[in-house]
Structure 1
Amino acid sequence: MRAKVKQKILKTVDKLVEYNETLEKFRGSSKYLFDKILRECNKLVDEIDISDCSFEEDEALGEYKKLINSPEYDADLIKKALDVFFQQIQEENEIYRVLFLPYKYSMWDSFASIFEAAKEDENCEAYVMPIPYYDKDQEGNFTEIHDESGSYPDDIGIISWQDNQVDEIDPDVIFIHNPYDGNNRVTSIHPKYYTNKLVCKDRVVIYVPYYVSYTEDKKVMVTMGGAEFYSDYVIMQSEWYKKQFEQILSDYKKSDDDLNDLIAFYDNGNKFVVLGNPKYDKIRSLEKSEYPLRDDWKEKIFDESDNKKFTILLDTTLEILLKQREKTLDKIGDVIDFFEKRDDIALIWRPHPFIKPTLRKMCPELIPTYVKLVDCCKNLDNCIFDDTNDMHTAIAWSDAFMGKYGSMIELYRVTKKPTIMLEIGEKTNFESDGIYDEEVLKANVSNCQVIREKDYGLGNLIDFSMKYHKNEEKNVIKLTDGKKIYDFAIKAAKIKMK
């Protein structure tokens, strides 16, 4: 039985118990009040949704209705009949309906382990409905619409946003991972899926960020997109992030009375909940066998003897490109030039998917340089330009990582492979003088810590990374972040229903 149906019936039964006591009180002393309350009892019984009820439950409810309307009113028999119906409903399993609303397939990993936990729960109906999003022009008008429904594998079993409406599905829990609604200057999800249109009194809306961030450097930019105001809960990767979001929310409330009223209206007192992120689950369980290489990739990262080359993954974030524009592109150029001279190693460059449209809108003067770097990377025999929907192939097949801030550096460190924080704006030294403590660096990498170009020089860190061998550990089954988030969501839904 649907959990919300069960809770509604139990509340109705509680009301009927009260009415029965009142009927007994007025029976024989006030026909007017007795008849009035009896009409209310009949009305409540008729409003009970019996579509989810068993034959036995339907019969028990019918017996109760027959007894309250009988000329020989018997309070004891009425109480027993209602008790029977109450007990039958109370013993029903509670079925929860959970709806996932992803918009970009490349961000599905922020839902994946929650969805797995939902599928494993026999008392859950889980639905995945990818929603469309629009590009925006410089005036903020919607232009091209994108629907990535076709990118999802068959085993997820998606449903169509064109054929189904959220309110028709009537979910108890909705998971979203787009924080911006209409507030992003480059893209927007379809307006009917803005968060303020999803929230309602008998469902829980939970925002799970599609990103995680490396927070050891306190310069990391922390912002809110807008969905956080309306969501019942926001899942946080760490206590540090929770404090940042709470502070931002507090600052917003002080800055504007209308905003203060809006935030207060949707604030349940425990909006930000530290439960990690499903993206970590995906990285911890990553296996090369799950991500077979395309032939064009294989040609670039394997030599003529079919031996895999040492391969580094280079990440470029929107944040660092917009902050240090030309300097960031200069750094990328230096790295590509280095790999052009080293055909014994390989590079996978994976920039943020929105870099080009963002540059086109915010700093178009950088586009020619960026396009030239992309073309150069694509044309080298040992370099891959990764613009695929899924970053996990690049993470699985690379041996080390280079980048600055962002989501990918935070994820990559969890692989326990060398994860290098680049310095932007400084001269890059690709030479290795061998002056570094290899054991210290090994310990740092094994403990999922980032190692820094500014401390050792990039040449030394590449040299160390080529010598480093990860300790292969047996997979230990642990409680995933996704399972923790799912369990929390069901608990939150139960509380809200009651």
Structure 2
Amino acid sequence: FQDICNKIKPEIKTLKLFIKENVKTQYEIAFFPYKVSMWDSMESIWRAANNDPDCICYVVPIPYYSKKDGNKAEYFYEGNLYPDDVPVVHYSLYDVQKHHPDIVYIHNPYDGNNYVTQVDEKYFAENLRKSTDMLAYVSYFVYGSYRNIDEIKAMAIEPGTVYADRVITQSEYQKDLFAKLGLNEDKLLVAGSPKFDAVLRAEEQPHEIPKEWEEKLKGKKIFLWNTTIKAMLENPGWLEKSGQLMDILTQCPECALIWRPHPLLKETIKSMRPAYLEPYLNLAKEVMAKSNAVIDLTGNAYISMAASDAIVSDYSSIMLQYAATGKPILCLDRKSSMLKNSICIFDYSKDYFLENGMTIKRFRNMVLKGEDPKKGERLKATEKSVANIDGTCGQKVHTLIKQEAYNNL
């Protein structure tokens, strides 16, 4: 029997090669996002795959739960919140075990390890890998700077990265770091981040701004002010400084302000800084009363990013992504000196900081004059930090992963 097997092996290989090269192959690709706010980390990959006649794509938003005391609490499903041009399939209508898609994309790496939310166990990376030949993980956030290697390891070694067949990394530097931390180098694919594709797409094809913003922003230099939960919690003078910033950016008639507070900022103030609530609400009322200021409470940060001429921001993914626009960036809560002792996957040292004579007023006046002396250096640093920063990440990921799926046939 063994002799027979050995004799027909070459014929089997020849037949397999003939089928691969001559029989039309269609690939089934399933995307399993959970929070709609994180869809930007997959969207450009989906668009590339959806435009590929060799592929059948399914976008299947999956259910998740908030957690309380380590246990599942409230159920959430956001499939009804996706853009109109994204054909969503309800998870109850897509049996991943029966479909056994050729490729599966996920952006939630935690399985049961997150303290805030948890996807349904059926969609844990550990379980999905059993129902596909190619499980690909792409991060829902932009990797930035970290105090030490342990801080990176806490995010690098998660079920999503461990069980995935391919992990998309922003750069060769990130790939090397993750490999040193124990991930198999062969599974790490340097391609950039689809989140930067989303920035460039919004710049080239901007969404319409809300009608109520138009009169307030028209004909002015627009500053995007991005505030984070961490800065509010860690800075005792946050409210006072926020009021001062708002005054500086609105007292000039040539300027307009878009304030984008973190979507959970108000709820966090209620639960963790209740004494801040009334002053915070008063600040919001004051902003809305201005003839040249609005508050962005939309679910799409790219509207404000595209509409603005510059950003003043606490350290965040939005601040890092904004670098792709080429427009000026003022980081409010960090110093450039901090980066010297940090591990920087994303180099934002060429942003502006509140140091060496730079103030909010000086930054405002610089932008009004159309000046940005750090622009060239900042763009070079961004290009080194993120592969395919030209908006082609999604296409590159799709092409590479599809080829690997083909090789697995």
Task: Tell me which of 310, 315, 318 is aligned to 1:405.
Answer: 315
Query: Per-residue CA shift, 1:69-123, capped at 9, x if unaligned?
Result: xxxxxxxxxx999988984675212221111111222222211211121122221
Residue 310 of structure 1 aligns with which residue? 221
- Output aligned runs, 1:152-191, within 5 Å: 152-191=82-121
Distance in 2 separating the partners of 1:129 and 1:219: 36
Counterpart of 1:450 in structure 2 is: 351
Deviates more, 1:334-343 or 1:226-235: 334-343
Aligned AA for 2:328?
Answer: P
Alignment CA distance shift 1:82-1:144 (3 Å): closer
Q: When the two structures are superposed, what TM-score results if normalisation uses the length of structure 2?
A: 0.79
Q: 1:186 touches 1:358 (CA, 8 Å); kept in 2? A: no
TM-score by length of 1: 0.66
Aligned to 1:119: 50
Gaps of 5+ in 2: 336-347, 376-388
Q: How does 1:261-276 map to 2 (within 5 A)?
A: 268-276=184-192
Higher radius of gyration, 1 or 2 = 1
What's the offset of the Cα at 1:382?
Answer: 2.5
Using a 3 Å threshold, how does the CA distance of structure 1 residues 169 and 419 change in structure 2: closer, same or farther?
Answer: same
Task: Answer whether contact 2:330 2:363 (CA < 8 A) is retained.
Answer: yes
| Inter-CA distance 368–310: structure 2 relative to 1 (3 Å threshold) | same
Change (3 A) 1:201 1:389: closer
Q: What runs of 5+ residues in structure 1 fail to find an aligned partner?
A: 1-14, 23-78, 251-266, 303-307, 426-446, 472-476
Aligned length in residues: 376
C-alpha contact (below 8 Å) 1:413/1:448 kept by paired residues: no
Measured against aligned partners, the alpha-carbon deviations of 1:250-294 in whole angstroms (never above 9, x if no partner) come to 4xxxxxxxxxxxxxxxx6442332210111122223347531121
2:396 paired residue among 481, 484, 487? 484
Rounded Cα–Cα distance in structure 2 between residues aligned with 1:206 and 1:82: 27
SS at 2:56's partner residue? strand
Per-residue deviation, residues 271-328 of structure 1 (Å, max 9, x unmatched):
33221011112222334753112121113212xxxxx221111112344445x24344
Among candidates 71, 75, 87, match of residue 145 of structure 1: 75
Show the counterpart of 1:295.
211
Partners of 1:226 and 1:81 lie apart in 2 by 37
Cα distance change on mapping 1:364 and 1:167 into 2, 3 Å = farther
Letter in 2 for 1:92: V
Is the CA contact 1:136–1:188 (under 8 Å) kept in the aligned structure 2? yes
User: What is the letter of the counterpart of residue 390 of structure 1?
Assistant: N
In 1, the alpha carbon distance for the partners of 2:173 and 2:240 equals 32
> Structure 1 residue 153: deviation in Å?
2.7
The percentage of counterpart residues that share the same residue type is 32
Looking at structure 2, the residues matched to 384 and 482 of structure 1 have their Cα atoms a distance apart, in angstroms, of 33
Aligned to 2:362: 460
Letter in 1 for 2:364: I
Paired residues for 1:103-252 under 5 Å: 103-137=34-68, 139-200=69-130, 202-215=132-145, 222=152, 223-224=154-155, 226-247=159-180, 249-250=181-182
The residue type paired with residue 285 of structure 1 is: R
Q: Residues 40-90 of structure 1: CA distance to partner in whole angstroms, max 9, x if unpaired?
A: xxxxxxxxxxxxxxxxxxxxxxxxxxxxxxxxxxxxxxx999988984675
- 1:384 aligns with 294
| Matched AA of 1:313 | L
Cα distance change of structure 1 residues 233 and 214 upon mapping to structure 2, 3 Å threshold = same
Output aligned runs, 1:48-63, within 5 Å. Answer: none
Do the aligned residues in 2 keep the contact of 1:339 with 1:383 (CA within 8 Å)?
A: no
Q: Helix, strand or coil for the counterpart of 1:178? A: coil
2:265 to 348, 351, 355: 355
Equivalent-residue separation in structure 1 for 2:13 and 2:364 (angstroms): 75
Q: CA deviation at 1:226?
A: 4.1
Two-structure CA RMSD over aligned residues (Å): 3.6
Can you list the C-alpha shifts for 1:375-422, whole angstroms capped at 9, x where unaligned?
A: 443443322221211111101111100113221111111111111122
